[in-house]
Chains A and B, each alone.
Chain A
Amino acid sequence: MNTGDGTAQPGGGSTSDELQLSPLASTRSERSPRLRRTLAALTVVAVVAAVGLLVSNLLGDAALFFYNADEAVQRRDELGSERFRLQGTPSVEPPLSVFWQDQPALAFTVEFNSAEVDVIHLSDPPELFQPGVPVVLEGAWQNRSEPGVPAAASGSYFVSDRMLVKHDNDYRSRDDYDERITEADQSEALGVSQLG
């Protein structure tokens, strides 16, 4: 069955008594070894380049993915009007719909480690945006004010145009949540303080 491919004719060589160990062509059909090698080498180069790009992206652009609200307040002067990401938890008051430079916006406060930041947000928030669920906002500090917008406690607003919800690792079922609300309502009806 396996008789070679014609290039290795029996008795074709002058050293017919010696043992010939030179490799024969493979009987299985496949691309030429040179092409296969080149393709694989190119793949490896592409993967290495992609990894290098990702690492430089990771270490360069995102030297810090976000500042917590307290760090952003501390670095207020240093940050100036530079764009950065800010992380904080929206306070319990519902956001106000306002206009900022004639654009519809949401005004709310985020807090972290007892520091509060007044936020003006200029795009649609993610569906899960709600008081008590931390968010990461992209934007910059601004000192200006607008009529109709509540005065910023610190004198500066963080004006953002992109919001991501930073879900924490606490999972609670909806049933359990409803139960807790019912319990709280009942306690309130009985005059028990929830604020302890």
Chain B
Amino acid sequence: MNPQSSSTTTSTEEAAAAQITGYLGGPARTRTRFTFWLGTLTLVGFAAVAALGLLAVPADDVQGDAVRIIFVHVPSALGAYAAFGVTAIGSLMWLWRRSLWWDTAAHAGAEVGVLLCGLTLVTGMLWGRPTWGTYWEWGDVRLVTTLILFLVMVGYLSVRSLGGDSASVATRAAVVGLVGAINIPIVNRSVTWWANRTLHQESSLTDGKLEDLTLFTLVLAFVVGAMAIYWMLIHRFRIGWLQRQISDRDLSEALRTRQAEAQQ
């Protein structure tokens, strides 16, 4: 371990950063020039979506201003599917190839997906109250399957914190990740498969039910949302990768120390 990291003059945070640098043999940061510009462009994109969605897009003749939540709700839902899709592919690749890279990607996908799925549920409820007349309706297939997807993926994150060696953690989590992913097409198609079981409308996008500016703003929100998700996935993946290296260093360090002690 790097003895310079315990300097008494540095603050706790600086000491922690220096310790990580010592572990990794280089600066431990997740930012690159690419992610910096991607993040900056994403923020500009969000500002454009907010301006168009709140000011330029006209209110709906039935829902009024409640329609504007579509620019957050729908991209969040599709983003959650995509992020959980990364978890599914990563889980499969772990089980098939024992790829730690893919296991780390699966973990990143689950965290980002849980965030977006939660956002989908909250924005849906906020839209449901003024439009349907209720925040939540038990028995509604779209709502309940989305909640199940959210809970299973929260379960995925819990399983990852169960402890044990990294291989068994990855295997247990991969099984949960794949079980959760089965639900993605069910959630997505539920409004079509069980039309009599849901208050939720069918897709406006695929049915061509959106007017020009609303459609343009929604497509822009998809593009910006995809950029934001990519940005979050990259950073979460790199954090996961650094954590893995630190944990490996911890083990090697412990072995070396024990070995040295035994030889004295």
Report chain B residues within 8 Å CB of A92. none
Identify which of residues 144-191 in chain A touch chain B, using a CB-to-CB cut-off of 8 Å: 163-177
Q: Does B257 contact A (CB under 8 A)?
A: yes
* Contacts A169-B203, A170-B204 given; does A20 touch B139 at CB 8 Å: no
Fill in one digit per residue for B188-205: 1 if any A CB lies within 8 Å of its CB, else 0.
Answer: 000000101111011110
Cβ–Cβ contact A173 & B1, under 8 A: no
Chain B's nearest CB lies how many Å from the CB of A182? 13
Cβ–Cβ contact B264 & A10, under 8 A: yes
Q: Does A94 contact B (CB under 8 A)?
A: no
Cβ–Cβ contact A24 & B155, under 8 A: no
Report chain B residues within 8 Å CB of A128. 62-63, 130-131, 133
Chain B's nearest CB lies how many Å from the CB of A121? 12
Cβ–Cβ contact A51 & B148, under 8 A: yes
Cβ–Cβ contact B61 & A172, under 8 A: yes
From B131, B152, B209, B258, A169 is in contact (CB under 8 Å) with B209
Q: Does B207 contact A (CB under 8 A)?
A: yes
* Contacts A10-B264, A164-B132, A164-B134 given; does A22 touch B258 at CB 8 Å: yes
From B70, B155, B202, B259, A47 is in contact (CB under 8 Å) with B155
Chain A's nearest CB lies how many Å from the CB of B52? 13
Q: Does B58 contact A (CB under 8 A)?
A: yes
From B201, B202, B211, B261, A173 is in contact (CB under 8 Å) with B211
For B70, give the chain A residue with the smallest CB separation. Answer: A171
Q: Does B151 contact A (CB under 8 A)?
A: yes
Chain B's nearest CB lies how many Å from the CB of A40? 5
Report chain A residues within 8 Å CB of B197. 62, 64-66
Q: Does B262 contact A (CB under 8 A)?
A: yes
For B179, give the chain A residue with the smallest CB separation. Answer: A51
Cβ–Cβ contact B131 & A165, under 8 A: yes
For B145, give the chain A residue with the smallest CB separation. Answer: A58
Identify which of residues 11-66 in chain A touch chain B, using a CB-to-CB cut-off of 8 Å: 11, 13, 16-24, 26-28, 33, 36-37, 40-41, 43-44, 47-48, 50-51, 54-55, 57-58, 61-62, 64-66
Identify which of residues 179-227 in chain B touch chain A, using a CB-to-CB cut-off of 8 Å: 194, 196-199, 201-204, 207, 209-211, 214
Report chain A residues within 8 Å CB of B58. 173-176
Cβ–Cβ contact A54 & B147, under 8 A: yes
Q: How far does the alpha carbon of A19 sit from the alpha carbon of B67 in the complex, in Å?
A: 68
Q: Does A126 contact B (CB under 8 A)?
A: yes
Chain B CB within 10 Å — which of A48, A163, A165, A171 has the most? A171
Q: Does B166 contact A (CB under 8 A)?
A: no
Identify which of residues 222-257 in chain B touch chain A, using a CB-to-CB cut-off of 8 Å: 250, 253-255, 257
Cβ–Cβ contact A50 & B261, under 8 A: no
Cβ–Cβ contact B258 & A1, under 8 A: no
Q: Does B141 contact A (CB under 8 A)?
A: yes
For B6, give the chain A residue with the smallest CB separation. Answer: A1
Chain B's nearest CB lies how many Å from the CB of A129? 8
Cβ–Cβ contact A171 & B161, under 8 A: no
Q: Does B26 contact A (CB under 8 A)?
A: no
For A22, give the chain B residue with the smallest CB separation. Answer: B258
Report chain A residues within 8 Å CB of B161. 36, 40
Cβ–Cβ contact A23 & B138, under 8 A: no
Q: Does A4 contact B (CB under 8 A)?
A: yes
Cβ–Cβ contact B196 & A19, under 8 A: no
Report chain A residues within 8 Å CB of B138. 57, 61-62
Identify which of residues 58-77 in chain A touch chain B, using a CB-to-CB cut-off of 8 Å: 58, 61-62, 64-68
A interface with B by C-beta (< 8 Å): 1-4, 8, 10-11, 13, 16-24, 26-28, 33, 36-37, 40-41, 43-44, 47-48, 50-51, 54-55, 57-58, 61-62, 64-68, 87, 125-128, 130, 133, 136, 163-177
Supply 5 further A-B pairs (C-beta < 8 A) apart from A8-B261, A128-B63, A171-B209.
Answer: A8-B258, A28-B250, A40-B159, A128-B133, A169-B202
- Top-5 shortest CB links A-B: A62-B139, A126-B133, A173-B58, A177-B61, A169-B201
Between A and B, 9 residue pairs with Cβ closer than 8 Å are: A4-B257, A40-B162, A47-B155, A47-B158, A62-B138, A65-B139, A125-B133, A128-B133, A173-B60
